[in-house]
Amino acid sequence: MVIAKRVCYTKRVYQRINKKLKTNYSNGEIESLVQQVVLEASQIIHKGKNFYISNYESGVRATVNANNYRIITADSLNCNSMH
Rounded CA gap, 58 and 29, in Å?
Answer: 14
pLDDT above 50: residue 83: no
For residue 1, the model assigns a pLDDT of 78
pLDDT tens digits for 58-81?
Answer: 999 999 999 999 999 999 997 544
pLDDT above 70: residue 2: yes
Amino acid found at 59: G
For residue 79, the model assigns a pLDDT of 53
pLDDT tens digits for 20-65?
Answer: 999 999 999 999 999 999 999 999 999 999 999 999 999 999 999 9
Q: Kindly compute the dihedral angle of the four CA atoms of residues 47, 7, 35, 11, in this order, to the nearest 10 degrees.
A: -110
For residue 80, the model assigns a pLDDT of 46
Is there a contact between 7 and 38 (Cβ–Cβ < 8 Å)?
Answer: yes
**Annotation: CATH topology of 2-81:** Thrombin, subunit H (2.40.10)
Q: Where are the domains of the chain?
A: 2-81
